[in-house]
């Protein structure tokens, strides 16, 4: 009997312009806030690129620094043509992904997961493949870090305030997984960064965090 191979996912990663990204980290990062935001996005993309279930990463951004850094990591970078907020940007990226790879499932991944481990992302994507749409809640339990849709399922992300509730109300299945702490640990505040450091930061974020004294 032939074993069915796991699906190859396309990830859509939205990246804000670094001039406005991660404003709540300004207290600890100071003049290095842009550098820290870019490092977190790069560590997220690098980890996703190392995930065996990911075949393509499509970054949606209008930031030139991010475009250069993330394309060097193998991501395809496209401009935020709708320029209408996070969810329209994700829908735009997903539409482009499906046009190029109509048989591939598509997932939206937050760009602020600097401790992300490829194996944990693979665990979530494997589980998501059993449902038309699914999501992973963030550590706080109110937001979302991953929203996934099967190849022929409607892609309807609801990121924003209380996105966990919104995704569930939209019919997506919450993946209540164990051992995916790095996938759930998004970073918006200094406390979040300390918690991510406890889990183990990616190399770029770790370097800056150590210089800022935020690694312990």
Interatomic CA distance for residues 13 and 113, integer angstroms: 11
Pure H helices in 101-187: 118-128, 163-169, 181-184
Half-sphere exposure of 64 (CA within 13 A, CB side): 0
Give pTM, 2 decimals.
Answer: 0.95
Q: What are 6-60's pLDDT values in tens digits?
A: 679 999 999 999 888 899 999 999 999 999 999 999 999 999 999 999 999 999 9
pLDDT the model gives residue 2: 37
Q: What are 134-182's pLDDT values in tens digits?
A: 999 999 999 999 999 999 999 999 999 999 999 999 999 999 999 999 9
Give me the count of residues in the chain. Answer: 216
Confidence of residue 3 (pLDDT cuts 50, 70, 90): very low
Pairing mode, if any, of strands 133-137 and 173-174? parallel
pLDDT the model gives residue 6: 65
Confidence of residue 130 (pLDDT cuts 50, 70, 90): very high
| Domain spans in the chain, listed from the N-terminal domain onward | 9-212
Interatomic CA distance for residues 135 and 196, integer angstroms: 20
What is the rounded average pLDDT for all residues in the chain?
94
Run of H or E residues at 38: helix 33-49
For residue 47, give both structure tokens.
Answer: 């980890």
For residue 130, give both structure tokens.
Answer: 């059993």
Domain spanning 9-212: CATH 3.90.1640.10: no
Confidence of residue 215 (pLDDT cuts 50, 70, 90): low
Interatomic CA distance for residues 34 and 52, integer angstroms: 30
């Amino acid at each position: 009997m032939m074993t069915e191979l796991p699906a190859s996912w396309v990830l859509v990663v939205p990246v804000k312009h670094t001039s406005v990204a991660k404003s709540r980290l300004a207290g600890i990062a100071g003049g290095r806030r842009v550098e820290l935001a870019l490092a977190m996005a790069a560590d997220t993309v690098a980890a996703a690129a190392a995930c065996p279930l990911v075949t393509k990463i499509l970054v949606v951004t209008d930031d030139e620094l991010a475009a250069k850094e993330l394309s060097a990591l193998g991501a395809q970078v496209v401009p935020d043509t709708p320029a209408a907020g996070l969810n329209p940007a994700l829908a735009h990226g997903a539409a482009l992904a499906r046009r190029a790879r109509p048989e591939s499932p598509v997932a939206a991944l937050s760009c602020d997961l600097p401790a992300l481990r490829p194996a944990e992302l693979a665990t979530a994507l494997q589980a998501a493949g059993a449902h038309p749409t699914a999501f992973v809640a963030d550590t706080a339990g109110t937001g979302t870090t991953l929203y996934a849709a099967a190849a022929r399922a409607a892609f309807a992300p609801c990121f924003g305030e209380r996105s966990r509730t919104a995704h569930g109300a939209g019919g997506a299945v919450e993946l209540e997984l164990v051992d995916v702490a790095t996938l759930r640990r998004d970073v918006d505040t200094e406390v979040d960064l300390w918690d991510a450091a406890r889990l183990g930061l990616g190399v770029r974020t770790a370097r800056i965090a150590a210089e800022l004294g935020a690694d312990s």
